[in-house]
Amino acid sequence: MTSRPTDVVVVGAGIIGCAVACELARRGASVQLVDERQAGMGATQASAGMLAPYKEASAGSPLLDFAVRSLDLFDDFVTRASSDSGVAVPYRRTGTIDVALQEGAMGKLRATAALLASRGVAAEIVDGHTARGEEPHLTADVIGGLLIPAHGFVAAGDLTRALATSARRHGTQVIEGGRVVRIAPAGGDMLVATERGTLTGNAVVLAAGSWSGQIDIAGLVARVPVRPVRGQLLRLGWNGAALRRVTWSDRCYLVPWDDGTLLVGATAEDAGFDERATAAGVRDLLEAACDVVPHAWAAGFLGARVGLRPATPDDLPIIGASHVLPNLFYATGHYRSGILLAPLTAQLVADAMLDGRIDPALAALRPQRFGDV
């Protein structure tokens, strides 16, 4: 950033854009938040809201420490979003169980447990009998599992609505129905051209998820290499006692909601910008769910959701200022972990933009690892 921006245009109203807009506005910036869709209606609406860093991030990846830090912020993040907005946000820290049906999978769980022990993270390897005691719906074929009590889940749609409402209450102008086509510097300002008119600010945050590389940015030869990875997620109407916690197998995860809905995720497909559910995706997820929890065959089928995860070549987010246009800041490429990483991303983006404080964790996430952007 050349100087502390006062007027910021945030491009993209998914969980990341809403969290960033909210944090900037809360700290006194004048913010416009723009998206073609309603807030949270891109990849965010298809998220199961899992908060499981020890499952999603591998040992040694900078993502792991970043995700663990972000998880630590979640209690306060949800409480503040909810109280500032008046929107209830269902949020549970009931842990996860990762189950194995074969010895090979069990070996991987033991390796994960050893890693967690070396970090001082509570986790427990259990045998099949104990796993079924914890989750009576598990198939008799389960030979063991790994319990991680720190994990949880949050209603991603409600959280995003809460953040958007809270951003509005802090003065943010939320512009829905405005597809951004071009970002360009003009004098000391930045212009954001949408199909409905042009917005002006003295800084821009690009948080457009899978679409971040599609927007024309004047003066930039390269674009950030974000590509869509389609995720299909099923909603089932569960009958009877719910699962107690998020349950993972090799082929799917299951997230139980108090309203009796069970979410089953997720496919990971290179399908370009095609946001349709497919028969194959639905069948694969149903089979995977029923293999681990056979009672799922009795569930009602409530529908499928589809989202395009914003993936990067190294599976790490892109967070930091452009070197070509210093008033352009990237907050994108959160791939499978946008919900989990939202609190820390918002905090570090606001620290960098408003206070010039660059957290050391951002070194691995710099946009310049992908060239002159």
Applying CB under 6 A, the residues found at the interface with ligand GLY are 50, 56, 231, 265-266, 309, 336
The C-alpha atoms of residue 264 and residue 258 are separated, in whole angstroms, by 15
CA-CA-CA-CA dihedral for 16, 19, 25, 30, to nearest 10? 20
What is the smallest separation between the CB atom of 285 and ligand GLY, expressed in angstroms?
11
What single DSSP character describes residue 167?
H
Angle at 301 between CA 300 and CA 302, to 5 degrees: 110
What is the smallest separation between the CB atom of 47 and ligand GLY, expressed in angstroms?
7
Nearer of residues 93 and 110 to ligand GLY, judged by Cβ: 93
Q: 214, 179 in Cβ contact below 8 A?
A: no
Q: Give the list of residues 6+ apart from residue 332 with CB closer than 8 angstroms, or none.
A: 12, 16, 206, 207, 208, 209, 212, 224, 226, 310, 317, 318, 319
Nearer of residues 8 and 252 to ligand GLY, judged by Cβ: 252
Which residue in 364, 232, 345 sits closest to 288, CA to CA? 232
Nearer of residues 48 and 296 to ligand GLY, judged by Cβ: 48
Which residue in 140, 149, 80 sits closest to 121, CA to CA? 149
Four-residue CA torsion sign, 156, 161, 162, 163: positive
- Residues for the chain: how many in total? 373
What is the smallest separation between the CB atom of 48 and ligand GLY, expressed in angstroms?
6
What is the smallest separation between the CB atom of 266 and ligand GLY, expressed in angstroms?
4
Nearer of residues 59 and 181 to ligand GLY, judged by Cβ: 59
Nearer of residues 338 and 367 to ligand GLY, judged by Cβ: 338
Nearer of residues 184 and 271 to ligand GLY, judged by Cβ: 271
What is the smallest separation between the CB atom of 265 and ligand GLY, expressed in angstroms?
5
- Residue 335: both structure tokens together: 């791939």
What is the smallest separation between the CB atom of 372 and ligand GLY, expressed in angstroms?
30
